[in-house]
A and B are shown apart, each in its own frame.
Chain A
Amino acid sequence: MIEAIINGLSGLGAGLAHMHWSNPVMMAIGCLLLYLGIKKDVEPMLLVPIGFGAVLVNIPLADLMGEEGFLRTIYNMGVTNELFPLLIFIGIGAMTDFGPLLENPKIFLLGAAGQFGIFLTIGLALAFGFDKLDAVAIGIIGACDGPTAIYVTSKYAPHLLGAVSVAAYSYMSLVPVIQPPIMKFLTTEKERAIDMNATNTDNKPVSKEARIIFPIVVTVVGGLIAPQGVPLLATIMLGNLMRECGVVNRLYKASENEIANVVTLLLGISIGATMEGQAFLKGQTLLILAFGFVAICLDTVCGVLFGKLMNLVTGGKINPLIGAAGISAYPMAARVVQREGQKYNKFNFLLMHAVGANTGGQVGSVMAAAIMLSVLKGMGIIP
């Protein structure tokens, strides 16, 4: 009897005996993510489940990512098959108003320039000796677009999913800190003060028909150009079509609320589950975080420089600051542009123009990923 009690007691606290040094470190990192999400309001919808997932997966012997662990079940349900990021895209499409972009379609080009950081960072990662597909996953952090980064990484470099996702979401939330110094460094005070409402009088309002046809055209044309990216393009555009057509309000509202919320929870906890100490705590992870930072800086540099080029071509009608909004961090990047513009001209309202560039950046990031995947397929790098 006593022996049985002793044996029984020995089972308690077994986790402590099997603790590897990396587990408490990762638990601390998980708690840091929870702190950032809860206390500092840094992407709380994602950092809270990711942080909690990171804590859970580092409890020894709980085996939550084992064959039958519940985190593994969730992971297999929607990350392995890329379903979760795609469902989130439907929600993003339903939340996004492409009106400001359609009013001034040339702003679309800023959404392309804002993706150059992806490709430049891939080159950089390759130069540092990363494998081709790992470099692609690292570069995609520059899309500034969580679901796109997760989609590409889970498909082609699943072992980097935790690091890439944390980098993507952390830097997205740091856009207000990262971008302003770069914007200031690359532009003159005179450029920053350009009032686009006074210079751009040719913006035309958009009809309901054009708004409805837009997502269909983008899906078909984008799909024909880069078939590998159809899932990404189609889901974001389906969400937007439901928003604009006005006849499926229940589906549109469910997409932007209930579906997006449930999937965000499951996606977040699944990402956290990939942050198991022994796999995560490597020098490579630090390099990935550094490259992610470089990618977002390069996006901003290319966006602002392209804004300067457009300013030159249009005879000074474009405020180059809006180039910084040509990334997918919506609507944060647009708000940063508005704030920076007003510092130099307090009557300047760049917000709607920046929102146009920002939504262009959303389509741009998806398009860039789609083109990248199609080029990789063309080269025979992916099946």
Chain B
Amino acid sequence: MDNWTFGLTLMFVGMGGTMTALAFLAILMDLLKRVFPVKEEQKE
């Protein structure tokens, strides 16, 4: 594989993959907060 193909592939898949993975984790974290909301005693 030549350097250009390698660089461009890594750039697109790397940036896209990182963004997608963290977006997915952000959604999961939001869900997690809904499933396990703060209880009254924790608020106190």
Contact = CB atoms under 8 A, between A and B. Distances in A.
Q: Do A and B bind each other?
A: yes
A210 B33 contact: yes
Contact of A217 (B4, B6, B28, B38): B28
B33 A102 contact: yes
A102 B29 CA distance: 7
A209 interface: yes
Contacts of B18: 112, 115, 364, 367-368, 371
Contacts of A226: 17, 21
Contact of B19 (A112, A372, A379): A112
A371 B21 contact: yes
Contact of B10 (A221, A367, A372): A372
Chain A, interface size category, equals 35 or more
Interface string A101-138: 11001111101110110111011001100001001100
B14 A118 contact: yes
Interface in B1-44: 1, 3-4, 6-11, 13-15, 17-19, 21-30, 32-33, 35-39, 42-43
A214 B29 contact: yes
A379 B6 CA distance: 9
B32 A214 contact: yes
B14 A205 contact: no
Contacts, number: 125
B11 A120 contact: yes
A225 B23 CA distance: 13
Residue in A107, A113, A368 whose Cβ sees the most chain B Cβ within 10 Å: A368
Given A207-B39, A226-B21, A368 B7 contact: no
A221 B32 contact: no
Contact of B14 (A108, A208, A209, A368): A368
Nearest to A209: B36
Given A105-B26, A371-B21, A379-B1, A116 B15 contact: yes
Contacts of A206: 33, 38
Main secondary structure of the interface of B (DSSP, over half): helix
Main secondary structure of the interface of A (DSSP, over half): helix
A257 B35 CA distance: 34
A272 interface: no
Contact of A105 (B4, B19, B29, B43): B29
B26 A109 contact: yes
A187 B32 CA distance: 34
A218 B42 CA distance: 24
A375 B19 CA distance: 15
A213 B42 CA distance: 17
A363 interface: yes
A132 B8 CA distance: 12
Contacts of B11: 119-120, 122-123
Contact of B17 (A101, A108, A126, A371): A371
Nearest to A218: B25
Contacts of A371: 13-14, 17-18, 21
A109 B1 CA distance: 31
A190 interface: no
A109 B22 contact: yes
Shortest 10 CB-CB contacts between residues of A and residues of B? A209-B36, A105-B29, A108-B26, A105-B26, A112-B22, A123-B7, A371-B17, A126-B7, A119-B14, A112-B19
10 contacts: A102-B33, A119-B15, A122-B10, A123-B11, A210-B29, A210-B35, A217-B28, A222-B25, A225-B21, A376-B10
Interface of A: 101-102, 105-109, 111-113, 115-116, 118-120, 122-123, 126-127, 132, 135-136, 204-210, 213-214, 217-218, 221-222, 225-226, 360, 363-364, 367-368, 371-372, 375-376, 379, 381
